[in-house]
Structure 1
Amino acid sequence: MSARSLRKGLPTVPNFEDRDRQGVRIADDLRVLLDAMVANAIVDGLAAKDRAELSALTGLPGTRVTTTLRLGEESGLFERRVRTRSDGDDEVRWHLAPKFVELDRRFAEFADACSMFSRAVTRAWARPITDPGTNVEFNLQIAKTVFSKWSLEIVALLYAQRTAGFQEIHKALDGISSHILSTKLERMTALGLIRRDVLSTRPPRVQYSLTAKGLQVAKLGEPVFLFLRFKEGLLLPERAARAAEIETP
């Protein structure tokens, strides 16, 4: 038996790196297509576009547009309209699914309501700041402290699990060193976001959980992550519409 024949008979090892790259590309294509269809108001049968038109709008090759449309249709993001032309051939056009359009509208209304609430609170409670640069600097300091690398991950983890020990957090946050995790936990405890409890076990164990302030930060951040997942096509509109039930303030 030749070496070539032997190689053909051997089972192939999956190329997980290629698979990961393909997954990232599909996710990117879906985001690009969603953004283009939202920006061009392709929201119903009248505005529907065919594959070639969507390819021109997005700059994506036609084959990738076809793959992305099929995936989006299965996920409830896109709908197709089929019309028989005078020559007897079918013409397929695509638009955003009504449930996606509705949820996108509700997110926009929610964002406007949040902005109005923030401005009202600022007018009623904040001290007037004559220098806009001071306000920007203050916001940047908050962002660096609360939203720096690993801080959000820690908040999200404790929000999901309610409580966790040091080793549990370290294991869940793949890539963080013990020293950095310890520093982050100390800093977030000092900021009043995390509570550190020493359990009366043998040996004593330390357990971390969110304080009332930390829990409020997590809840305020929830709609942001939900919106980003929605815009990436990772949130099925029909499920989200039933589960979210967000009443605009």
Structure 2
Amino acid sequence: MIGRWRKTSRRMLHLPTMPAAIYAVGDIHGRFDLYHQIEQQIIEDAASIDGPKLLVILGDIVDRSAGVSGLIDHLLAPDPAGIQRVILCGNHDDMMCRFLDDPAGNRAWLDCGGAETLASYGLHLGEVMPPTMRLQHQLTTIIPPDHRDFLMGLPLSLTVGDYVFAHASYNLDQTDARQDAQTLMWGDPALADRAKSRRILIHGHVIEDEPCIRPNRISIDTGAYKTGVLTAVRLLAGGCTPTFLSTKPK
């Protein structure tokens, strides 16, 4: 983790009933090209399913690739017809927020993919950062206010029935009130492997060669920014076996 940790006011969401289908997408890391492909696959797949559909993005939408600003523009646009998007906060998204709040205290973010994020907005920093006041002015100028508000407002988790969606980890044996924001964004997903609860965590954060189903969790980060493979999982009402969708590396 970088910089100083500060208390978060991010929400934890609950949906009272399972929709007809939920599609969860793993870590995008600025690969807008891949996200466009997977979203089109989801739209086509969802067309044959009657009822409301949910598309959950599991965080880490920023860093490591050049498509961040275009991706956020897209996510701020209207949802696909018949599908509602929910975007969760990953550790990289939170690191960007902390950098925007305090560049001098969180400059290590630049080496974690932040430099590519700023480049997507047209700001190319050299080895030496400009003075703080000048950098703050540059950041205010190049990053649209709605992008800032979007990132600052990302929720930490979503619970739907026995499914819990979070970027990194979640203590499945505890309520939301007992969860820690740092664990949800930075924690070890294997925490769920020790759970006694029947609930299932859907997460990203740790790169897998293939999406993986374990007794208490489904892991879908397939390292899109370097592999070209962005993965989604489809969960249907009624408890059917999860189905994976993915982009194909070139």
TM-score bin, normalised by smaller chain: under 0.3
Flag the structure with larger Rg.
1
Q: Whose helix fraction is larger, Structure 1's or Structure 2's?
A: 1
* TM-score of the aligned structures, taking structure 2 as reference length: 0.26
* TM-score of the aligned structures, taking structure 1 as reference length: 0.26
Higher relative contact order (CA 8 A, sep 6+): 2
